[in-house]
Chain A
Amino acid sequence: GAVVSQHPSWVICKSGTSVKIECRSLDFQATTMFWYRQFPKQSLMLMATSNEGSKATYEQGVEKDKFLINHASLTLSTLTVTSAHPEDSSFYICSARDFTRGSTGELFFGEGSRLTVL
């Protein structure tokens, strides 16, 4: 099946620094990828839709300047948490839908990235 890879899996940073998380579709092209945030014991919350070659679409309440999304190629989207603060500590997950091989269009998720801001 399709594979989505996310890196890094774990990251610890100091407050005020920026952190970049990468999401790659390894064996298919994804014009659109999705970024989620998940708090402990809670469900996934869609943060933004990343569109290749254009601006991301953010969900209501998500700060665009705080969570910078870049989708520079058909296989790579990045999420940068700028000037991170402890409240940004969370589990961030990306996903993409594979339509290229006539699949049913289900989402494939990356492994997730756990961010801890000290």
Chain B
Amino acid sequence: EDKVVQSPLSLVVHEGDTVTLNCSYEVTNFRSLLWYKQEKKAPTFLFMLTSSGIEKKSGRLSSILDKKELFSILNITATQTGDSAVYLCAVDRSGGVDNYGQNFVFGPGTRLSVLP
């Protein structure tokens, strides 16, 4: 059975700390791995990773994928209270360029709390 596992499930840090969130997966027909940030409502897109070893960065956030070991990490440096959210990892297991169907598997999320 395809699955996505995230760790830790919950994390409390203080402003300025650096955090690393983990996502491991076991899926068939891997296409890409995505990270989302969810605050009070729907998730917002952070990164999409398709190739191993290529780091994606956006401000204080960065992420990298290891397709051999089947995991990804999301790093947040110099955390701020506004980073408090649930961070979701999702794996897209759609197959083929003509297959627009979605077959995402979401992890349980990591609930990050950043204290002032």
Contacts and interface: CB of A to CB of B under 8 A. Distances in A.
B43 A44 contact: yes
Contact of B45 (A9, A49, A108): A108
Given A43-B109, A44-B88, A104-B48, A109 B104 contact: no
B100 A106 contact: no
Contacts, number: 54
Interface string A71-98: 0000000000000000000000101010
Interface in B84-107: 88, 90, 100-102, 104, 106-107
Nearest to B108: A43
Contact of A97 (B100, B107, B111): B100
A53 to B, nearest CB: 14
Contacts of B44: 109
A117 interface: no
Contacts of A93: 42-43
Given A9-B41, A95-B102, 15 more contacts: A32-B101, A34-B102, A44-B88, A46-B102, A46-B106, A49-B101, A93-B42, A93-B43, A95-B42, A104-B48, A105-B48, A107-B102, A108-B45, A109-B42, A110-B42
A117 B108 CA distance: 25
Contacts of A41: 111
B21 interface: no
A51 to B, nearest CB: 8
25 contacts: A6-B42, A9-B41, A31-B100, A32-B101, A32-B102, A34-B104, A42-B109, A43-B106, A43-B107, A44-B43, A44-B88, A44-B90, A46-B102, A46-B104, A49-B101, A93-B43, A95-B102, A97-B102, A105-B48, A106-B45, A109-B36, A109-B43, A109-B44, A111-B41, A111-B42
B104 A107 contact: yes
